[in-house]
C-alpha cells in the first residue's frame, strides 16, 4: 500500500480541486509522491476544477422531487446554458434532488451526503467541473413536508422531467384525497411560478425588506408636501399594499385576477368537505440574486486572438 494519509488526500484536493476518489487514486498511482500526484491529475484533466472556481455560475437547472408527503428543491448553477442541456449535468441535478429528500434543507449537509458510486455529492460536483469544463455550484436546497395531505411540484418550461428554470413545491395539509389536492396544488404552483410571492403571509415578509420599503415610501410621501399625519397614513397605506401584493395568501389568483389565494384554498376545502391548509411553499428561480458578468463578445474574441 502506498505511503500516504488522509491529510495528504485533503492537501491534494485543496491544491488541485480534484475529487476525493481521484486524489486518492493519484497518490496510489504515484507511491504517495505529492508532486507526481499533482502532475498525474493534470495529465488526466482532473486538476482543472480549481482554476474554474472563480468564474460566475448563473445558469444551470432547478430540480424538484416529491416522495409521499416530502418534497425537495435544489438549484445547481453552471456558467452557460449549454451545460443545462448536458445529459451528465441533468443526471447529476436529478440525483442530487432525490438525495435532498432525505436532508433537512441544509446545503452543506447535502454536499456531504452520499452520492451513488461511493463518493459524496460535493466530490461528484468537483468531478463534473473537471469533466464538463465549467464552474458549477450547488447553490441552495429547500425541504418541505406535511403530516398528511400532499406535496405538489411544478416546473415551468421544463428542460427535462422535474428540471427547469423555475421550480415550485406546494405543501397542502389535509385529509382530502389526491383527486382534490393534486389539481389544487398544481394551480397554486402555477400561480406561485408566475406571481413570485416573497412569503406565505404578510407577517412572514422579511423585516429588513419591509423597512427598506418603508424608507422608500417615506421619501415619496415627503415629496408631496402634505402634513406629517397625512404622510404617515400614506406610508402605512403603501406598506399595507406591499404586504398584500407580495404575500402569497393575499395575492390575487392569476387565473381570474380577482380571488385571493386564501379564498381559493377555502373554496376548495368547502367543496371537498375537508379542511385544507396551505402550509408552505418553495419557489426557486434559476440565478435569481446572482450578479451576472456582462460579456462583450467582440472584445472577448479580440482578446482571444491577441
Report the CATH number at residue 174. Answer: 3.30.479.20
pTM: 0.76
SS in 3 state form for the chain? CCCCCHHHHHHHHHHHCCCHHHHHHHHHHCCCCHHHHHHHHHHCCCCCHHHHCCCCCCEEEEEEEEECCEEEEEEEEECCHHHHCCHHHHHHHHHHHHHHCCCCCCHHHHHHCEECCCEEHHHHHHHHHHHHCCCEEEEEEEEEECCCEEEEEEEECCCECCEECEEEEEEEEECCCHHHHHHHHHHHHHHHHHHCCCECCHHHCCHHHHHHHHHHHHHHHHCCCCCHHHHHHHHHHHHHHHHHHHEHHHCECCCCCCCEHHHHHHHHHHHHCCCEEEEEEEEEECCCCCCCCCCCHHHHHHHHHC
> pLDDT tens per residue, the chain (306 residues)?
467 888 888 888 777 767 778 888 889 988 888 888 887 776 666 655 544 544 545 689 999 999 999 999 999 998 888 888 889 999 999 999 999 999 888 999 999 999 999 999 999 998 888 888 788 899 999 999 999 999 999 999 899 999 999 999 999 999 999 999 999 999 999 999 999 999 999 999 999 999 989 998 888 888 888 888 998 999 999 999 999 999 999 999 999 999 999 999 999 999 999 999 999 999 999 988 765 554 444 554 445 444
Same domain? For 71 and 176 the reply is yes
Provide the domain limits for residue 190: 59-202+248-285
Q: What is the pLDDT of residue 157?
A: 86
**Is 110 part of a structural domain of the chain?**
yes
Q: What is the pLDDT of residue 48?
A: 52
Same domain? For 235 and 252 the reply is no
**Is 290 part of a structural domain of the chain?**
no
**How many domains, in total, are found in the chain?**
3
Q: What is the pLDDT of residue 223?
A: 85
Same domain? For 100 and 121 the reply is yes
Same domain? For 38 and 186 the reply is no
Same domain? For 113 and 213 the reply is no
Q: What is the pLDDT of residue 76?
A: 95
**Is 295 part of a structural domain of the chain?**
no
Same domain? For 18 and 109 the reply is no
Same domain? For 115 and 264 the reply is yes
Amino acid at each position: 500500500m502506498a505511503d500516504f494519509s488522509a491529510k495528504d488526500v485533503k492537501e491534494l484536493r485543496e491544491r488541485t480541486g480534484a475529487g476525493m476518489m481521484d486524489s486518492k487514486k493519484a497518490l496510489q498511482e504515484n507511491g504517495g509522491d505529492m508532486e507526481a500526484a499533482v502532475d498525474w491529475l493534470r495529465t488526466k484533466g482532473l486538476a482543472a476544477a480549481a482554476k474554474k472556481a472563480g468564474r460566475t455560475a448563473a445558469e444551470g437547472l432547478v430540480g424538484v422531487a416529491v416522495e409521499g408527503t416530502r418534497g425537495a428543491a435544489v438549484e445547481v448553477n453552471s456558467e452557460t446554458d449549454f451545460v443545462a442541456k448536458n445529459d451528465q449535468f441533468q443526471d447529476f441535478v436529478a440525483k442530487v434532488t432525490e438525495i435532498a429528500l432525505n436532508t433537512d434543507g441544509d446545503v452543506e449537509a447535502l454536499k456531504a451526503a452520499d452520492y451513488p458510486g461511493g463518493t459524496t455529492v460535493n466530490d461528484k460536483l468537483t468531478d463534473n467541473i473537471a469533466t464538463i469544463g465549467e464552474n458549477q455550484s450547488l447553490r441552495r436546497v429547500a425541504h418541505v413536508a406535511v403530516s398528511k395531505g400532499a406535496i405538489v411540484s411544478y416546473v415551468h418550461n421544463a428542460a427535462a422531467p422535474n428540471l427547469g428554470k423555475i421550480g415550485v413545491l406546494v405543501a397542502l395539509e389535509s385529509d382530502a384525497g389526491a383527486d382534490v389536492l393534486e389539481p389544487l396544488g398544481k394551480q397554486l404552483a402555477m400561480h406561485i411560478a408566475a406571481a413570485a410571492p416573497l412569503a406565505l403571509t404578510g407577517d412572514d415578509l422579511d423585516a429588513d425588506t419591509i423597512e427598506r420599503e418603508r424608507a422608500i415610501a417615506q421619501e415619496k410621501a415627503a415629496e408631496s408636501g402634505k402634513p406629517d399625519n397625512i404622510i404617515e397614513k400614506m406610508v402605512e397605506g403603501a406598506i399595507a399594499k406591499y404586504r398584500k401584493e407580495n404575500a402569497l395568501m393575499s395575492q390575487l389568483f392569476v387565473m381570474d385576477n380577482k380571488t385571493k389565494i386564501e379564498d381559493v384554498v377555502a373554496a376548495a376545502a368547502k367543496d371537498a368537505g375537508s379542511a385544507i391548509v396551505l402550509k408552505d411553499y418553495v419557489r426557486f428561480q434559476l440565478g435569481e440574486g446572482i450578479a451576472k458578468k456582462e460579456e462583450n463578445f467582440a472584445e472577448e474574441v479580440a482578446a482571444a486572438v491577441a
